[in-house]
Structure 1
């Protein structure tokens, strides 16, 4: 199992970040990393607030938010009038869940790749309504046709009131054919929520073309925005049904203003988001995607070879910049065990990774971003087998 050739670095890209040089940060997918220029743009906004808070919040803030929303929506191919800036994908998912009417005989359908917090939100919403959550199993490496077939077979017309599906799953780094899945659900008038937390900035997307009822993606993972920036896109039939998590002064304006205007919430991450997109375009988005995908594939191969992994799951899209390496049997089989192993790797090797428990097995998730270098994965591959051997003793 030979590793592909790693990509050449993008000149100057590593200097754009303030990451600790003593740590190999191979986990961009969890919380992102904000370029220095974007940090400074956000700090200027904070300084503006503190120079005159009343002026900032009462003179033109709404127009600035609308301008930002339109900028972000255009980047994602979403209707700006049906989009709202929210804190993160989980917030958007909760808003969508609370907009769907549920009764005791109803159900929400998930896949076993769903993000943990979204699954928790679905269970809470169903518990309050007396409804149920049901999960459809999708094997690692399943083809698009198999995914659509399994989900189609799991739908229960009249009972399934919402289908939640990832566009790119977090724990397993698999892409799903969300446009085809949405079409299958709509044959039975079943609404669809697409959790696209990792998509903005990583993968090209045309949100409107997916035709989902709800779509939500984070800008603070792969689009270089400050944390706390995501976009929720809602199809026209649902916009009047959207209720914000907290009622504020713009409640009567309806969606999206009722969701976006939440008093003294910190709006600086949103207003600095266009600077993140500018940074991405300045580096060359095509070049960034190609670099990150190739480097993630390289990292998966060298680490997988070091661990003698028999199979390395493919993500389903060559541009995905997160890859999975199955861990040896018996390691990180539960979420607490996965968290403990991730922390141990961080403490002993000064390497930040993601470790997830999925389907009773441990999965190591490696990310690649423009600040990473092939030698970081090489060193990790050299040291990880011995660490795991000692950890199991």
Structure 2
């Protein structure tokens, strides 16, 4: 099986970012990278704030937030009236969980591909309410049809009160058939919360097309927004039940305003987010998506070859356009959270390369991403040096 060819670089794209050129940044999926033009737009908003704080916070800020909300919701194919700006997807999940009204004996159903902080949030809410949580095991090689069947078999009508599922999983970079999962859950009367942290900017399709009761997504990863920019989208029947984590002066306005308004928080990231979308569109949305997915696939293959992983054993993300890929590490390497963090830090310090490392299903996995500022030789250099570093253990 031939090695896939890396895509041609997008001219000038690397110059849009202020990333340290001495480091290979192959982990865009964790914290993103903010283009210089977006940084400057946010700084202008900060300057405006500091020039007259009272005017900034009291004259028209809620209207500016509403305008931003409409802009971002339109890009995502979501209803602006059902979309709230939040700092990140994890915050959106917490808002839903604490508004949902879980009771003793209720069950929150998840999969074993969930994001760690979301799992912790679910566990805390279950402890607080007396509910329980259960994770479905989904094999990494499961087809979309098998995923849907696993969910169908795992639902417990009358007990399962909420299903939480990732659109694109963080530890395993797997695209799940969320629209089909939502349809199955709806047949059984179970509401669904979709954690789409990586979807905005990377994946095609719309929020409306997923059809979930709740959908959360970050724009500070693949949509070039400043960090701290995400949305919570709530279906109309649930909006009256949503409560903010902190009550402030927009409480009486209801959703989405009372979730967004958090007094003296820094709103400049949200207000600058449309500039990130402008940057993405200027580069060409489809062009960026195709480039990033092809580059991630190339990086996975060269790293797999370096570690002796046959191409047939490299996990397929399950759909086109996915700009994150994982590679299995040797047995016994980075199989738990502490060891994974330690290895990530060693790779950063010794190889000047930022990656993600996670332990999942008793195996360590290295995750790399593709982004317009990356080049093929960055993955090749990591592949050339990583085996020796792993052999040192």
Q: TM-score, normalised by structure 1?
A: 0.99
User: Following TM superposition, by how much is the alpha carbon of 1:318 offset from its aligned partner in structure 2, in angstroms?
Assistant: 1.6
User: Following TM superposition, by how much is the alpha carbon of 1:360 offset from its aligned partner in structure 2, in angstroms?
Assistant: 1.1
User: Following TM superposition, by how much is the alpha carbon of 1:113 offset from its aligned partner in structure 2, in angstroms?
Assistant: 0.3
> Counterparts of 1:62-77 in structure 2 under 5 Å?
62-77=62-77
Residue of structure 1 equivalent to 2:203: 203
What is the RMSD computed on CA atoms of the aligned residues? Answer: 0.7
Q: Deviations over 1:203-246 (max 9, x none)?
A: 11311121101000000000000000001100011000000000
Residue of structure 1 equivalent to 2:343: 341
Residue of structure 2 equivalent to 1:301: 301
Unpaired runs of 5+ in structure 1?
Answer: none
The reply on whether 1:113 has 2:102 as its aligned counterpart is no
SS at match of 2:34: coil
The reply on whether 1:275 has 2:275 as its aligned counterpart is yes
Residue of structure 2 equivalent to 1:363: 365
Residue of structure 1 equivalent to 2:175: 175
Please give the alpha-carbon distance, in whole angstroms, between the structure 1 residues aligned to 2:319 and 2:71.
26
Residue of structure 1 equivalent to 2:380: 378
Verify the 8 A CA contact 1:16 1:37 in the aligned structure 2: yes
Verify the 8 A CA contact 1:175 1:317 in the aligned structure 2: yes
User: Following TM superposition, by how much is the alpha carbon of 1:309 offset from its aligned partner in structure 2, in angstroms?
Assistant: 1.3
Please give the alpha-carbon distance, in whole angstroms, between the structure 2 residues aligned to 1:367 and 1:305.
17
Please give the alpha-carbon distance, in whole angstroms, between the structure 2 residues aligned to 1:296 and 1:55.
46
User: Following TM superposition, by how much is the alpha carbon of 1:337 offset from its aligned partner in structure 2, in angstroms?
Assistant: 0.2
Please give the alpha-carbon distance, in whole angstroms, between the structure 1 residues aligned to 2:233 and 2:370.
27
Residue of structure 1 equivalent to 2:218: 218
User: Following TM superposition, by how much is the alpha carbon of 1:368 offset from its aligned partner in structure 2, in angstroms?
Assistant: 0.7
Please give the alpha-carbon distance, in whole angstroms, between the structure 1 residues aligned to 2:139 and 2:270.
37
Verify the 8 A CA contact 1:141 1:315 in the aligned structure 2: no
Aligned residues: 391
Residue of structure 2 equivalent to 1:161: 161
The runs of at least 4 aligned residues of structure 1 exceeding 4 Å deviation read none
Q: Deviations over 1:145-195 (max 9, x none)?
A: 000000110000000000000000001000011111001011111100000
SS at match of 2:263: coil
SS at match of 2:118: helix
Please give the alpha-carbon distance, in whole angstroms, between the structure 2 residues aligned to 1:31 and 1:379.
23
Q: Deviations over 1:61-98 (max 9, x none)?
A: 01110000000000000000000000000000011111
Q: TM-score, normalised by structure 2?
A: 0.99
Please give the alpha-carbon distance, in whole angstroms, between the structure 2 residues aligned to 1:368 and 1:252.
44
Please give the alpha-carbon distance, in whole angstroms, between the structure 1 residues aligned to 2:104 and 2:36.
50
> Counterparts of 1:1-393 in structure 2 under 5 Å?
2-310=2-310, 311-390=313-392, 392=393
Verify the 8 A CA contact 1:2 1:301 in the aligned structure 2: no
